[in-house]
Structure 1
Amino acid sequence: MVSFIDLIRNENMKLYKRTGTWVMIGLIILAMSGVGLFTKFVLDSDAHINWKEELKTENMQLESALKDTEQMGVGNDYVEQQLAINHYRLENDYPPVHSESLWGFMIDVTNLTGFVALFTIVVAAGIVANEFSWGTIKLLLIRPVSRSKILLSKFITTILFAIGMIILLFSLSFIFGSLLFGVSGVEQPHLVYQDGQVVEQNMITYIISLYGFNSIDLFMMLTLAFMISTVFRSSSLAIGISLFLMFTGPQLVQLLSNYEWVKYILFANTNLQQYTNGTPIVEGMTMTFSISMIMIYFIIFVALSWVIFEKRDVTA
């Protein structure tokens, strides 16, 4: 009797036997190395050396902008918070995090989760559709295992691939950052403005939170690609639609941000950072609302995948 663990192990073996999988992993490492080497040897910024003077100049500009908004009777919470953080840095001798440092490099590398999303979409789009195109789906379904378990093993394998890529990105960014920029300033905290005061947070915790926020969009696009792959049995269609929506969805939401109904679109809710360091796309939106909408879309995508895969006739 084939166990569920055996199914997941088998799917992982098939995934990592493919040359394309290792090419994707290599490209992620290459991209991260390129960011590090460019920052180390090409960027060559000295702004962090005279950071106190730079910060004082910035504060003057922020205070001027704040006065202008106050005269117009408009508040500017972001400017006030940034001023408070800047004053806190000057008082406690905490320089801003710059790219040519371990923490700065690790923060910059979080932007590469976009590449992880792209490669994960490719995996999710092919893990079911390729079984149909290669004709191996019949061999898979004659096993004494339910279709639900087979599909779930493929979905979990895709999620494990995405999580593995994120962990790899985080781990190697720390190693590369330490080698290229050293570990000086590793004790520096991340500063946030909460409840009317500046609060110090652990920098590693902050960086992990960035990965968490960025991963929401990743996992939703993964689920969408998996659903399209299962429903239409076409990896190219799943890749095309998913990538198109990933790149154009947020821009479309911005264009339609004046309409109240836009808050029900998936891409208006996947960026939860709009609630922590920004303003919601539509006034009145809350983090609870966005999380609820994400869960609704997730359930719809998963339900469509399971229902259609269970009912599909593959005997012909």
Structure 2
Amino acid sequence: MKRLIHIELQKLLKNKASKVLIICYFVLLSLIALIASIEFDLGSLHISLAKMGIFNFPYIWHFNTYFAALLKLFLAIVIVSMMSNEYSYGTLKQNLIDGLSKKEFIQSKFLTVILFALASTVFIFILSLILGYSFSSFTEASIVFTDVDYLLAYFVKLMGFFSFCLFLGILVKRSAFALGFLILWNIIEGFIFLGIRLVTPAGSNIGENVSRFFPLESMSSLIFNPLRRLSLVRNLEEQVSGQADTTIYDVNYVQILIVLAWTAIFVYLSYRVLKKRDL
């Protein structure tokens, strides 16, 4: 395992574009801290995001993991480019000639996926602790580590998404086409969901219940938008709709199992495609 990770890290470190993207990704993650400085006036109401409690424990785990996950495309580009370079530069064929089996090759790529997801999760964990202890009104241990399972959801979400990108990179070979297919698949899921909504009775939840099993939608459903949990937003919604928000924001472990299943499927399909492909 250590040998396989070492091989992949050597490839990444020798690629300037990959290094730049990885550095930019973690720099952008760090910029979440700048949200604390955002203040603006809404009519006669002065709004400070930090004072609204976005960095309060335990809400910060939900807030940071949701917005950090929006930046995952940076590492997705690294992953599909990583596979594209294997074909373009002939390193895949050379690795196999040097004695690396196709199974070990897929293992090395998946270990890289896990490494990216884990590094991002640890980074968000540390950043959240720093911001939380700096701005939160509640710093008791029992409160600080409540809802920390959002980090697990975040890790699984990244691992599933990167595994999908790995599969597309192996299947399509070209990074631009792989990313294009990723966007196309997102659109396809949207049309399928819309089609289900059109053929089912009004007010039915069949579309939502079915779509939670779609690859990208299952990953998206791991962490819902946290802004609706803020008291200001919730009060505005209740005044407009006249109904209280009954959304459950807790991490859904069934959804985690669904994403883990898709992760296993994507890794297996990556291996099957590579095994059958004439290199």
Contact 1:125 1:226 in 2 (8 A): yes
One-letter identity of the residue aligned with 2:28: A
| Aligned residue among 91, 94, 99 for 2:54 | 99
Does 1:170 pair with 2:125?
yes
Does 1:186 pair with 2:139?
yes
Pick the structure with greater CA Rg. 1
Does 1:203 pair with 2:144?
yes
Residues 1:184 and 1:273: Cα distance change in structure 2 (over 3 Å): closer
Contact 1:109 1:173 in 2 (8 A): yes
- 1:299 is displaced (CA, Å) by 3.6
Query: Which residue pairs with 1:89 in the alignment?
Result: none
| Other structure's SS at 1:45 match | strand
| Aligned residue among 105, 115, 119 for 1:150 | 105
Query: Which residue pairs with 1:52 in the alignment?
Result: none
- 1:98 is displaced (CA, Å) by 0.5
How many residues align structurally?
240
| Other structure's SS at 1:99 match | coil
Query: Which residue pairs with 2:163 in the alignment?
Result: 223
State TM-score, norm by structure 1.
Answer: 0.62
Alpha-carbon distance in structure 1 between the residues aligned to 2:49 and 2:71: 31
Runs of 4+ in structure 1 off by over 6 angstroms are 46-49
Question: Once superposed, what is the RMSD of the aligned Cα atoms?
Answer: 3.6
Contact 1:102 1:186 in 2 (8 A): yes
Query: Which residue pairs with 2:6 in the alignment?
Result: 9
Aligned identity (percent) is: 23
State TM-score, norm by structure 2.
Answer: 0.69
- CA offset digits 1:180-207 (Å, max 9, x no partner): x3565312x8xxxxxxxxxxx633241x
Contact 1:101 1:177 in 2 (8 A): yes
Does 1:255 pair with 2:183?
no
Query: Which residue pairs with 2:232 in the alignment?
Result: none
Contact 2:50 2:135 in 1 (8 A): no
- 1:237 is displaced (CA, Å) by 1.7
- 1:48 is displaced (CA, Å) by 9.2
- 1:293 is displaced (CA, Å) by 4.4
Does 1:242 pair with 2:195?
no
| Other structure's SS at 1:145 match | coil
Contact 1:129 1:234 in 2 (8 A): yes
Residues 1:135 and 1:220: Cα distance change in structure 2 (over 3 Å): same
Contact 1:118 1:243 in 2 (8 A): no
**Contiguous gaps of at least 5 residues in structure 1:** 50-96, 190-200, 281-285
